[in-house]
Structure 1
Amino acid sequence: MKRNRFLILAAVCITCFLLSSCGFKDIDKRIFVQAIGVDYSGNEKKPYKVTLKLAVPSGSLKEAGVKYTYLTKEDSTLAGAIRFLKTQVDKELDFGHTRALIFDKKILEKDFKETLDFFIRRRDIQMISWVAVGEPSAEEVLRVKPESEMAGSTVLTNLFSGNGVESAYITSTFLFDARRKMVENGIEPIIPIIRTNKDHSTLIVNHSYVFSPRHEPVKLNPMQTKFFSLMASRINKLDIEVKKKGENFTMSVDSARVKYKIITAPQKKPVLKMKIVIAGIIEESTFDMNPSELDTYSKMTAKKTKQEVLKVLRFLQKEDLDPLGFGLRYKATRIQNGKRYEEWQGIYPNLTFDVSVDAKIRSTGTVE
């Protein structure tokens, strides 16, 4: 027994000598990357232009002002650009707090999968980082300094996380979700667009791009983006404006539920039946509203919602886009035979949309 204990102790001691030293670095030896921007440089030999937004540590939380610094490098690979940028700072680049990845449209058009693949593979970049398209460029978006932004807390996180602003015009997309939808048949990623105003002091997010491996990305305008968010059940709060003969009013939706199913009966035209239930109150009106006519106002709102939803569905069908995942639903609700996606590609162009909307206005919003 004593001999065995001695051998075990000797083995442990020898192993300790072979272990490498600790790779941990103190926080004062690190600088945190808040966001990464990737643009197309225009040079085929070095197509990637990488911009890092770094939070500059301050001595006190009471110090006012936004403190950031920026590093930019063009290279033939993303990894090469980032490794070169490490030579421009005296601290280790820490990507553990990187929550926003901004891309130029051209770089995603060039190769969506390859570009995202680098960030998916890096172990120090979170899969729950937000993905967006920057206009006119990712670098210009990152360099915008809104007055509401605090040092160490980038405004991009508040735009997409839902903890700050809540808007149906913002289609927040995670890194892992964008990658999954790009490689999966039957659903396509929708990426929000971040634009800047003329003096580069404000960020605007109310458009989006739908990316498809079959053709160039297609831009959705604010109205299309809003009703896409409704159908995708991404948000419950939105407004619906109803106009009729000069009597206009706006319904503030507090809750929304969307259900749909795809019906493919033999010898019949395929139909997608969608049922939408919304509820809320009147937020604004240009005339005196009668509380006894809430049913009439509700029917008007339901009709308007149905019209806008059908416009978006038919637009996506015409452009051969499927960001709502109808094809994925079709595959999941049929017995697999290895050809379900090919079947769906033949069904989708001929699909008829049957949309029903049930709107419930609870109050005119007035106090008698």
Structure 2
Amino acid sequence: MSHYRKLLGVLFILLLLPTTLSGCGFKDIDKRIFVVSVGVDPAKNSDKKFLVTLKLAIPNVQEVSNEFLIIAEEGDTIAEAVRIMKAKVDKELDFSHAKLIVYNEKILKPEIEKNLYYWFIRRRDFQEMSWVAIGKPSAQEVLKLKPKSERLPSNSLFLILGKDGSESAYVIAEFLFDFKKRFSEKGLDPLLPIIEVKKNIFEIDKVGLLDKKGLKLQLSPKETMILNFFVNEEPKTALKIENGEQSFVIDIQGVKTNYKLMTDSLKQPYIKVDIKLQGRIEEALFDVSNKNLRQYEKMANTFTKKQVRDVLVKLQKSKVDPLGFGLRYRSRHFEKDDWETWERLYPEIKFKVNADVQIKDTGLVE
């Protein structure tokens, strides 16, 4: 009898299963349209906060296609704008392939920063491995651009940020999960690459630095490259050593950086910074010789030391800490007032930079 009851129970569950599936929100792939990029700008035509733009890939079963559809809507929240946009398309919006979020620099202000990432983090179909960036002149203009070399919608940006295509020390890619962590972690501030639309191409050679409230400053391409030496130890670059008529360019092939906080029991606390570069001379404005490599290295050490120190001091004066000096300090000090102590130390702390540039050869056959 008990066996009979179990069998009836199984049959009852099977009868209910189709009803359960029909209400779960599952859509077949032919009933979905895939979002590849999201842009967030300030609203233009209303008193709403945001203008949210979605770039939708249009599939072509016959061949590879870079055709896309742009839809946009204004709302006080990103969620509100997306819900309204669902009425503009005939298929379900699918964010599982959305790999890029672009922000307009004008919305990177105090009081609204949580809105910038909270919705994306909460979405179950949104990848936290998506990249985040600043778009100029606007996020929407970045999404609308269709480079001639692009074979799939937004793929040119994916190749650059993911380094599957071009590799550059001027590009500092930032992931959504790390962007959120930097907003919430004391002693580590957010940073975002800047994507500019110029004459139908993308230009990504600068980075924007933020504190916990909003955008503070933008670094030049050269400053971005130096920051990338520390963030990613990125060697794919050429470093120009400027010394009047004896200027030359080093093809960098290896980078190693390190720093140590010297703050305990010292009258004048300082941060000891070491940077080691390896490469060969790629171009010069004068006749070079392998016999004079040590002389060229000395010139490169002096120049690099100054450049690195200037960037660190600029970050310090702007009260931003993208390298995590404060986080390193917190990891070694555990008293309640240690964070307040660091906030007093950082604006006044000194940087002692040691540069070791090793030039293998001049790239010439003598």
TM-score by length of structure 1 reads 0.94
Report the Cα distance in structure 1 between the residues aligned to 2:11 and 2:47, rounded to whole angstroms: 52
SS at 1:366 equivalent: coil
Q: Which residue number corresponds to residue 85 of structure 2?
A: 85
Q: Would you say the 8 A contact 1:190–1:208 is kept in 2?
A: yes
4+ residue runs of structure 1 moved beyond 6 angstroms? Answer: none
Q: Which residue number corresponds to residue 187 of structure 2?
A: 186
Q: Deviations over 1:281-340 (max 9, x none)?
A: 111112221111111111211211111100000001111110110000011122x12222
| 2:137 aligned with 1:136 | yes
Q: Would you say the 8 A contact 1:279–1:360 is kept in 2?
A: yes
Q: Which residue number corresponds to residue 124 of structure 2?
A: 123
Q: Would you say the 8 A contact 1:240–1:301 is kept in 2?
A: no
Report the Cα distance in structure 2 between the residues aligned to 1:315 and 1:43, rounded to whole angstroms: 38
| 2:31 aligned with 1:33 | no
Give the deviation of 1:151 after TM superposition. Answer: 2.4
Q: CA separation of 1:172/1:363 partners in 2, compared to 1, >3 Å: closer, same or farther?
A: same
Report the Cα distance in structure 1 between the residues aligned to 2:217 and 2:9, rounded to whole angstroms: 63
Q: CA separation of 1:340/1:6 partners in 2, compared to 1, >3 Å: closer, same or farther?
A: farther
Task: Describe how 1:196-215 pairs up with structure 2 within 5 A.
Answer: 196-197=197-198, 199=199, 201-213=200-212
Report the Cα distance in structure 2 between the residues aligned to 1:208 and 1:21, rounded to whole angstroms: 47
Q: Would you say the 8 A contact 2:216–2:318 is kept in 1?
A: no
Q: Would you say the 8 A contact 2:38–2:102 is kept in 1?
A: yes
SS at 1:166 equivalent: coil
- Higher mean C-alpha deviation, range 244-253 or range 309-318: 244-253
Q: Would you say the 8 A contact 1:207–1:222 is kept in 2?
A: yes
- Number of corresponding residues: 361
Q: Would you say the 8 A contact 2:209–2:322 is kept in 1?
A: yes
Read off the aligned partner of 2:349 and give its amino acid letter.
Answer: L
Q: Deviations over 1:134-157 (max 9, x none)?
A: 111100111011111112452111
Give the deviation of 1:355 after TM superposition. Answer: 0.8
SS at 1:205 equivalent: strand
Long gaps (5+) in structure 1: none
Q: Which residue number corresponds to residue 315 of structure 1?
A: 314
Read off the aligned partner of 2:33 and give its amino acid letter.
Answer: I
Q: Deviations over 1:7-34 (max 9, x none)?
A: 3222222233344116443322221111
What is the aligned-residue RMSD (CA, Å)? 1.7
Q: Which residue number corresponds to residue 160 of structure 2?
A: 159
SS at 2:180 equivalent: helix
Report the Cα distance in structure 2 between the residues aligned to 1:17 and 1:217, rounded to whole angstroms: 60
Q: Which residue number corresponds to residue 4 of structure 2?
A: 6
Q: Deviations over 1:157-200 (max 9, x none)?
A: 11211111111111100001011101111010110111111x4x
TM-score by length of structure 2 reads 0.94
Q: Would you say the 8 A contact 1:109–1:217 is kept in 2?
A: no
Alignment partner of 1:51 out of 50, 53, 75: 53
- Higher mean C-alpha deviation, range 344-353 or range 37-46: 37-46
Q: Which residue number corresponds to residue 174 of structure 1?
A: 175
Identity across matched positions, percent: 37
